[in-house]
C-alpha cells in the first residue's frame, strides 16, 4: 500500500535541486578534465603553493627554513629537495641537496623566476627558482620528482576545485535551491489553497467559501467549475431527500387511517394479516423518514448530549411496540451524566433503529439496552445472532438476510451507520455470549 502523494511544491523543489546539483557535478567534471589534463599548469600551481609554504617558514639570521615545513622533504628524500641561496650563490639552508642541479644555483639568473623540466631515467624532474620577497638577495630553488609521492599535484588540483567551484559556484547553487524552494512554495500557494478548499467540500453540505487570495486563471476556472458542479449535485441531492421525505409524510396519514379502520373490523385471520402487512408498511414509512433525517443531520462540533436520558426516552417510546412483539425491553444506565459529542436527535434516531431492529429480528425474549461503560450504548438481543458471513453487508442499504422476517426495507442498520459516521462515532456488531447479537454505538469522549 502506497503512502500519500507528496505535495507538488516538494516535488518541484526536489527536481530543481537535482538540476542544480547536476549542473554543479557537470561543472566539477569539466574543471577536473580541463585542469587534470594540463600537467604543466598543475606542476606550476604545486610549485607556487610549495614555494609560498617554504617562504612562510623562514626565520632567523642567517635565514633558515623551519623544521615544520621540511616534513615532506625528510619523508621523501629521493623525490623532493630545496635550497635557500643568497646573492653570491652560497647555500644558506637545504634539504636533500644532492637532487638540486648545480646550474640551478647559478647567480647569473638570480633575478628570474623560472621553471625547468629535466628528463631523467624513469621520468622527469621539475626544478624551479623563485626570489624570496621577505629577504634581500635570497632565492629558493625547489626540486619535484615526476612520481610525486606526497600528492602535491593532487593538492593543486583540489585547490583549483576550491577556487573555481566551491567558492564561486556552490554558494550560488545553494542560493538558487533556497530561492527556488521559496518561490515554488509561494507560487503554488494558490494551488494549495484550492486543494484545501476541495478537501473541505462535502456532498450534501453547502460548499465552503472558495479561496480569496489571487489565484492563476486556470486554478480559478477549476474552482469555479467544481463549485458549480457541487451546487448542482447538492441541489439534486436535496430534491431527492425532499421527495423521499414528502412521500413518506404523505403516506403517514393514509396509513394511520387504515390502522384505525382495521381496528374497527371484527377479529379474524384476514384482519390479522392486514394488520401485519400494515405494520410492515408503517415501519417502512418510518424508516424512509428516518433515512431522510439521517441525510439532513447537521452536526455541531461543539454540541454534546447526555446518553442516559436519550436511551431512557427511546426505551419508553418503543415499549408498546416491543410488548406487541412479545419482547421485554430493559434499560441499564448510570446515575451520573454520560456526555459525548453528538446531536440528541441523531443519537435518538440511531438508537431507535437499533432497538427496533433487535425487537424485530431478535424474536421473543428480552432486548437489553446498557449505557456505558464510557461513551457507548450496547443493545443486545437473544435471537439467532448474526452469521459471520453477513457482517460485511449488514450496514448496506436495502440489504436483508436470508431468514429476515417479512416487512421492512433493509434501511435500519444503514441509517444507524450513517448517523454514527456523521457524529464521528461508530457502530459495531458481535455475537453475544449465550446467544443473540450485540450492537454497540460508540461515541467520542466529550473532552476530545
**pLDDT tens profile 94-147:** 898 888 888 877 766 545 678 888 877 667 788 888 888 766 678 887 888 878
Question: Quick one: average pLDDT of 334-338?
Answer: 87
What is the pLDDT confidence band of residue 388, given thresholds at 50, 70 and 90? Answer: low
- Determine the Cα–Cα distance for residues 104 and 40; give it in Å rounded to an integer: 19
What percent of the chain has pLDDT above 70?
A: 70
Question: Quick one: average pLDDT of 5-22?
Answer: 77
What is the pLDDT confidence band of residue 1, given thresholds at 50, 70 and 90? Answer: very low
At 200 the pLDDT is 72
CATH class of the domain whose range is 299-448: alpha beta
Tell me: pLDDT of 328 over 60.
Answer: yes
Tell me: pLDDT of 43 over 80.
Answer: yes
**What Å distances lie between residue 305 and 314, 415, 444, 446, CA to CA?**
14, 19, 11, 9
- Determine the Cα–Cα distance for residues 21 and 171; give it in Å rounded to an integer: 12
| Beta-strand pair 339-341/304-306 | antiparallel
**CB-based contacts of 302, cutoff 8 Å, min separation 6:** none
At 287 the pLDDT is 58
- Determine the Cα–Cα distance for residues 286 and 415; give it in Å rounded to an integer: 11
Of 287 and 352, which is predicted with more confidence?
A: 352
Tell me: pLDDT of 3 over 80.
Answer: no
At 249 the pLDDT is 56
Topology of the domain covering 57-148: Beta-Lactamase (3.30.450)
Q: What is the DSSP letter of 342?
A: S
In contact, 430 and 387? CB cutoff 8 Å: no
Phi (first) and psi of residue 169, to 5 degrees: -100, -45
At 284 the pLDDT is 62
What is the pLDDT confidence band of residue 292, given thresholds at 50, 70 and 90? Answer: low
Question: Quick one: average pLDDT of 34-62?
Answer: 82
Q: The cell 403516506 sits on which residue?
A: 251
Residue-wise pLDDT tens digits, 209-246: 777 666 677 677 777 777 777 777 767 766 666 665 55
Largest distance between two CA atoms of the chain:
148
pTM: 0.44
Of 445 and 309, which is predicted with more confidence?
A: 309
What is the pLDDT confidence band of residue 187, given thresholds at 50, 70 and 90? Answer: confident
Tell me: pLDDT of 282 over 80.
Answer: no
Average pLDDT over the chain, rounded to an integer:
76
Kindly list the domain boundaries of the chain, sorted by start residue.
Answer: 57-148, 208-296, 299-448
Question: By three-state DSSP, how is residue 216 classified?
Answer: coil
Topology of the domain covering 208-296: Helix Hairpins (1.10.287)
**CB-based contacts of 25, cutoff 8 Å, min separation 6:** none
Question: Quick one: average pLDDT of 293-307?
Answer: 67
* Angle of CA points 374, 378, 384, to nearest 5°: 155
Tell me: pLDDT of 165 over 50.
Answer: yes
Amino acid at each position: 500500500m502506497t503512502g500519500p502523494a507528496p505535495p507538488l511544491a516538494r516535488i518541484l523543489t526536489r527536481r530543481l535541486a537535482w538540476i542544480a546539483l547536476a549542473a554543479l557535478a557537470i561543472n566539477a567534471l569539466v574543471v577536473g578534465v580541463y585542469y587534470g589534463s594540463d600537467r604543466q599548469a598543475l606542476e606550476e600551481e604545486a610549485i607556487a603553493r610549495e614555494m609560498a609554504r617554504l617562504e612562510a617558514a623562514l626565520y632567523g639570521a642567517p635565514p633558515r627554513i623551519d623544521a615544520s615545513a621540511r616534513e615532506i622533504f625528510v619523508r621523501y628524500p629521493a623525490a623532493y629537495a630545496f635550497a635557500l641561496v643568497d646573492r653570491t650563490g652560497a647555500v644558506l639552508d637545504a634539504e636533500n641537496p644532492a637532487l638540486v642541479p648545480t646550474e640551478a644555483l647559478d647567480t647569473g639568473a638570480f633575478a628570474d623566476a623560472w621553471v625547468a623540466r629535466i628528463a631523467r631515467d624513469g621520468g622527469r624532474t621539475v626544478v624551479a627558482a623563485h626570489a624570496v620577497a621577505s629577504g634581500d638577495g635570497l632565492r629558493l630553488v625547489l626540486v619535484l620528482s615526476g612520481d610525486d609521492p606526497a600528492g602535491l599535484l593532487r593538492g593543486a588540483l583540489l585547490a583549483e576545485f576550491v577556487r573555481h567551484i566551491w567558492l564561486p559556484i556552490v554558494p550560488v547553487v545553494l542560493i538558487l535551491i533556497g530561492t527556488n524552494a521559496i518561490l515554488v512554495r509561494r507560487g503554488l500557494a494558490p494551488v494549495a489553497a484550492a486543494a484545501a478548499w476541495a478537501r473541505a467540500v462535502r456532498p450534501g453540505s453547502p460548499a465552503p467559501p472558495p479561496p480569496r487570495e489571487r489565484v492563476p486563471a486556470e486554478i480559478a476556472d477549476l474552482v469555479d467549475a467544481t463549485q458549480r458542479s457541487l451546487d448542482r449535485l447538492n441541489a439534486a441531492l436535496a430534491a431527492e431527500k425532499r421527495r423521499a421525505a414528502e412521500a413518506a409524510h404523505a403516506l403517514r396519514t393514509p396509513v394511520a387511517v387504515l390502522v384505525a379502520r382495521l381496528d374497527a373490523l371484527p377479529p379474524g385471520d384476514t384482519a390479522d394479516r392486514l394488520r401485519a402487512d400494515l405494520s410492515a408498511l408503517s415501519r417502512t414509512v418510518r424508516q424512509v423518514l428516518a433515512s431522510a433525517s439521517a441525510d439532513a443531520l447537521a452536526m455541531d462540533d461543539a454540541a454534546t448530549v447526555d446518553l442516559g436520558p436519550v436511551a431512557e426516552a427511546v426505551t419508553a417510546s418503543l415499549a408498546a411496540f416491543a410488548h406487541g412483539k412479545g419482547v421485554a425491553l430493559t434499560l441499564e444506565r448510570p446515575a451520573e451524566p454520560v456526555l459525548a459529542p453528538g446531536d440528541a436527535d441523531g443519537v435518538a434516531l440511531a438508537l431507535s433503529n437499533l432497538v427496533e431492529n433487535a425487537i424485530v429480528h431478535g424474536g421473543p425474549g428480552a432486548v437489553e439496552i446498557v449505557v456505558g461503560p464510557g461513551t457507548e450504548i450496547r443493545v443486545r438481543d437473544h435471537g439467532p445472532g448474526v452469521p459471520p458471513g453477513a457482517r460485511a453487508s449488514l450496514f448496506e442499504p436495502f440489504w436483508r438476510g436470508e431468514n429476515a422476517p417479512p416487512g421492512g426495507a433493509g434501511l435500519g442498520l444503514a441509517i444507524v451507520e450513517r448517523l454514527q459516521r456523521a457524529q464521528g462515532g461508530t457502530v459495531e456488531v458481535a455475537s453475544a455470549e449465550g446467544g443473540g447479537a450485540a450492537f454497540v454505538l460508540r461515541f467520542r469522549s466529550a473532552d476530545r
